[in-house]
Chains A and B, each alone.
Chain A
Amino acid sequence: MKKRILVVEDEESLRLLYEEELKSEGYEVLTAGNGREAIQQLEQGMPDLIILDIVMPVMDGMEALGRIVGKERKIPIILHTSYSGYREDFMSWAADAYVTKSADLGELKDKIRVLLEKGKAR
């Protein structure tokens, strides 16, 4: 079974990029353009991991994070943002990882692998 990852990202070009990159890593990829869409997606079915941008219109990632962990306590979530300052927000500590956006997706991919492994053990 392929692992399913939900990518929540408002910028379409980035969304497509991440989708392609993760598909080539062997994952099934779902996408959402903001927090609200992400929560709607979750009602259809649970992915194995969520990658969450923070600065997005309609509903930002920090608010979506609270709502998601309130409902689905154990799903691994990676905050993926261009800004490092959100690390100081208490709510960001509710994510399993905090990755600052970079052209090199190595760190993101590593974190995904580690968290999915951990998820198996749970």
Chain B
Amino acid sequence: MKNVLAMILAGGRGERLYPLTRDRAKPAVCFGAIYRIIDFTLSNCINSDVRRIYALTQYKSISLHRHIQLGWNILSAPLGEFIGVIPAQQRIDEHWYQGTADAIFQNIYTLQREMPDLVLILSGDHIYKMDYRKMIALHLEKSADLTVAAIRMDRKLSREFGVIEVERDWRIVGFQEKPEEPKTIPGDPEGILASMGVYVFNTEILVKRLIEDARSDSTHDFGKDIIPAMIGKDRVFAFDFNHADRGGTGYWRDVGTIDAYFEVNMDLISVTPQLNLYDPQWPILTYQSHHPPAKTVWAEEGRMGTAFNSIISNGCIISGGSVKRSILSPKVVVHSYAEVEDSILMEGVDVGRYAKIRRTIIDKDVQIPQGTEIGYDLDEDAKRFTVTGSGIVVVPRWIRL
């Protein structure tokens, strides 16, 4: 895999995840108590033996830089391995990235320097476990110029995805971005093939097509412009995610909205989550600072430190309060008589005595004063916080209550 260079598009603003993305890009949003969203893509790379990786950042990138610098400094430079972060640097042009294809085009000098045979283009926004080696093997077997990873979705969801049209041998013959009337899978009229934003390109073809695109009126996007332009001209194939899905459950999520973010997190506290984080053959790596183990204290009548059906990270203290069906990042403290239910508490959150928290996401380091109720009167909550359509309250970072 030494001839493969991974380029992770990590500049997503994630506007629909606001206010979680107020201070950080979408790939840097916390997920599953101790991870950042980008950890899944980076772990997939490492576990697939892809060890030359650049993450391309743009907006609000400090948090992501810090995370990668602290947590992902694990490869061996003498062996030619690296995880580098490239901020948008206006190397070619004096504007920010105009689209996914422009982000790669603007880094054409990096491709020149690394000179890989294949470029693996990934998104830092998705949560899934995939062995990219399987996809690369198919790419080589088919002598493809471009291979696009595809996942089966219900045809009703076509307006959310780039929809791939294939022939029986999975050669791509059409690609529509978010169509109303999608082309379905041959032999499966209720299914569509959605593009996962995972591409394997032969480097030379990639460069040529990027240049053609850069020199034309275009939105400079892989889905809207590059792939449609290549169909019929180049050898473009789809790759079935099922053949490389390390979880075996077809799990792939674009955590696009707060509601989706909440659901995907909450899946982790079920008895058998769809996303298995316990596979020793496919570890998900992250950065963690050192904290003492989680603990519960107080076991008196009416003052019991308890946690049920929850994820409790290191450094947490459940001190005479109760936690149910919740996800606690490191260093969360729940004080006596407080109740936390169906909530996500990020690092350093402190829940004061007698506070009651329900169906709420609380961002880092927020102090919840004694007796505060959140998630019980949504009209009242909406005066101070973001409340989603399905009634999830989000308490942003830096808020003083």
Using a CB–CB distance below 8 Å, which chain A residues touch chain B?
66-67, 69-71, 73-74, 89-91, 93-94
Which of B92, B109, B207, B216 is the one whose CB lies under 8 Å from A70? B92
B112 touches A94 (CB 8 A): no
A66 touches B93 (CB 8 A): yes
Say whether B94 faces chain A, with CB atoms less than 8 Å apart: yes
B214 touches A69 (CB 8 A): yes
Using a CB–CB distance below 8 Å, which chain B residues touch chain A?
91-95, 108-109, 111-112, 207-208, 211, 214-217
Given known contacts A90-B112, A94-B211, A70 and B217 CB-to-CB distance under 8 angstroms: no
A66 — which chain B residues lie within 8 A by C-beta? 91-93
A67 touches B216 (CB 8 A): no
A69 touches B109 (CB 8 A): no
A85 to B329, CA, bound (A): 55
Given known contacts A90-B111, A91-B108, A91-B112, A74 and B215 CB-to-CB distance under 8 angstroms: yes
| Identity of the chain B residue whose Cβ is nearest the Cβ of A73 in the assembled complex | B215
A66 to B108, CA, bound (A): 10
27 A–B contact pairs at CB < 8 A?
A66-B91, A66-B92, A66-B93, A67-B94, A69-B214, A69-B215, A70-B93, A70-B214, A71-B93, A73-B214, A73-B216, A73-B217, A74-B215, A74-B216, A89-B112, A90-B108, A90-B111, A90-B112, A90-B207, A90-B211, A91-B108, A91-B109, A93-B207, A93-B208, A93-B211, A94-B211, A94-B214
A24 to B208, CA, bound (A): 35
A66 to B210, CA, bound (A): 13
Min CB distance B119 to A, Å, is 12
- Point out which of A70, A90, A91, A94 has the most chain B C-beta atoms below 10 A from its C-beta: A90
A91 to B109, CA, bound (A): 8
